[in-house]
Amino acid sequence: MIASLSLILLCQLAGEIFVRGLTLPMPGPVIGLMLLLVLLLARDRFPVLARGPLQGDGVENASRGLLANLSLLFVPAGVGVVQKLDLVAEHGIAFLGVLAISVLVTLLVTVVTFVAASRLMARGGNSHE
């Protein structure tokens, strides 16, 4: 479990180093997740890589453990909001407006992505018949 968590954090660190070294305009953990995905896909394709933390379901179990406790990571953000209640009271309407617009945009982008993906999948399914 510790080795698997270390691998996850090492991938995140590698992503941060990569992004900062090349001054890319994206979060380092995104690159780290892509690196972890490549490692897991390579492990499944090449059995010789299934050693150490990549052996068995070690990374998957560590990920499940992190996701089960993910809500704990929101506690500091909640405390920060409570500490800044004066700003929330002063700009509350603007916060609500931005929140409503961002939710609508997220929903619309999700629907468009789902429709596009389902059309591509339907088109791909027809070509194999």
Cα 110–Cα 29–Cα 115 angle in degrees, nearest 5:
15
**Rounded distance, CA 26 to CA 9, Å?**
18
Reported as a single tens digit per residue, the pLDDT across 14-51 is 999 999 999 989 999 999 999 999 998 888 888 887 77
Reported as a single tens digit per residue, the pLDDT across 70-98 is 888 888 888 888 898 898 889 989 989 99
Rg value, the chain, Cα = 21
Q: What is the pTM of this model?
A: 0.59
